[in-house]
A = this chain, B = another copy of it.
Amino acid sequence: MREVLAEAAFQLFLDRGFEQTTVDDIVARAGVGRRSFFRYFPSKEDAVFPDHERCLADMTAFLEEADGGDPVGTVADAARLVLRMYAANPEFSVQRYRLTREVPGLRTYELSVVRRYERTLAGYLRERFEGERDGALRAEVIAASVVAAHNNGLRSWLRSGGEGDPYAAVDHALGMVRGVWSGADQGAALPAAEDEVVVMVARKGAPMWQVVQRIESALGQG
């Protein structure tokens, strides 16, 4: 029933436009009563993004079960659950991307959803960084970075019409953030032998992000 309603709604939004479609139009097409619609979706906007609630729940569960490895890698993996949802239905995802770009109300709705993912990731990192200096600050900045990187890769794929491997661009983007931030968990990064040193030689003025990538390989965190 939920899927039938979402499909009917989406087809009408594509055919007539989002604003021009009423809930009455949707339930008429789906052949159900008006109350059925609101049992499943609080608003018309929710019917456009029917899988985000489940994805948020999946993300929360994933983070609760995470085994305590590199926290930045963990939230990057959690973000991939969002991509998995989009990648499960490329045609729908691409059509919805185009529809969302045209309807300000849907863009606003999407911003709220993105913010909820970001808060979920930040909440996990805040716990991991608890008691550390600037822990909450780093948690929020890293969560924002992960979300921005994920969305950059996702949008590339959506703009291309959903062609090719959706994971390639997203994993590349998330890899960059991991490269910059991995090891941000002070506790987890403490070495077995504290007096081991790494000597790193770089060209003066080399871009910081390149230097970081090289150090990472040297430290074996890459």
Contact = CB atoms under 8 A, between A and B. Distances in A.
A58 to B, nearest CB: 23
A148 interface: yes
A184 to B, nearest CB: 5
A1 interface: no
A152 B176 contact: no
Number of copies of chain A assembled together: 2
Contact of A186 (B108, B173, B207): B207
Contacts of A151: 140
Contact of A199 (B115, B195, B199, B208): B199
A152 B180 contact: no
Measured as residues with beta carbon below 8 angstroms from the partner, the interface class of chain A is: 35 or more
Interface stretch (A3-11, A32-40, A78-86, A211-219): A211-219
Interface stretch (A17-25, A47-55, A90-98, A130-138): A130-138
A87 interface: no
Nearest to A193: B204
Interface in A125-157: 134, 136-138, 140-141, 143-145, 147-149, 151-153
B198 A201 contact: yes
B191 A205 contact: yes
Among A152, A173, A186, A197, residue most surrounded by chain B Cβ atoms (within 10 Å): A152
Interface string A163-200: 00000000011001100111111100111111111111
A41 B196 CA distance: 62
Contact of A144 (B137, B144, B197, B199): B144
Interface of A: 108, 111-112, 115, 134, 136-138, 140-141, 143-145, 147-149, 151-153, 172-173, 176-177, 180-186, 189-209, 211-212, 215-216, 219, 221
